[in-house]
Amino acid sequence: MKIKKLTPPPLHWMLYQQRVEEARITGVPFVERQYWYENLETGQQYYDLFGCVGWPTEVTDKNDMRPGYIAIVGVVKDEKPPQDAVFQLLAEDESKNLPTLLYKMAALRCDYGYGLHPSLFNAWYGDPEAFVTTIASLNSELQKKIGHDRNSILIAPPFDFYLPDKFEIYSRSFYSTGAEKNKVRFYFGKNEILRNRKNEFKRDDPAILAIGGLVHTLLHSTPWMDQVDDNMFVVEEGI
């Protein structure tokens, strides 16, 4: 495992409660969480980590099938305000073979902390209606290994997924994170698959759909922060 979960000292929950109260007073809808993650290899810290998937395209007589794509993205915790955090591509992979891609998803999430917190990789962003039978078959095998469905791979649709122009929306969101040099919010690291697919740019490319959908969701919902509401209360390590 390349990730560890970090939590503050026991009494830090009082500071968190203070932040919640201040957020209510000032009308701020979100507050920084009480836990975060650290990369054991680099020391980089993250508010949260997310997975995304773009399924392989259909086989055609033109033999232009595009491989499916998966990625892990970390929301970097540094000196910037949490709502302005940048996104770091931590790992990626691709395959034209669906079972291979699914097994790579299962392995990749384990490398990056699956099980450290109930919400971590509880779902991957992607098309939840594609390859349902194959995914169900894989999940059945995964469940047999540990005896319950906690190990299942679940797929959740990104924001605006059901709009007819979602590829345009996702592409714009993704490209916007690198449009201005002094406001870059997405970093590729040493990963080359997405970088190459971005440069080639083919419509409905699974890699652009996957990353674009995830980035669009992150930009419009800040899911790495807790939402403040009137019924919110704090219990230590139970937020």
Domain annotation for the chain: domains and CATH numbers: 3-227 (3.30.420)
In which band, very low, low, confident or very high, does the pLDDT at 185 lie, cut at 50, 70 and 90?
very high
What global pTM score does this model have? Answer: 0.86
Cα 145 to Cα 129: distance, rounded to the nearest angstrom = 25
Q: What is the pLDDT of residues 94-153, one digit of tens each?
A: 999 999 999 999 999 999 999 999 999 999 999 999 999 999 998 888 777 655 556 889
> Which residue, among 192, 194, 189, has the nearest Cα to 212 in the 3D structure?
194
DSSP annotation string for 34-47? S-EEEETTT--EEE
Mean of the per-residue pLDDT values of the chain: 86
Q: 69 by DSSP, 3-state: which?
A: strand
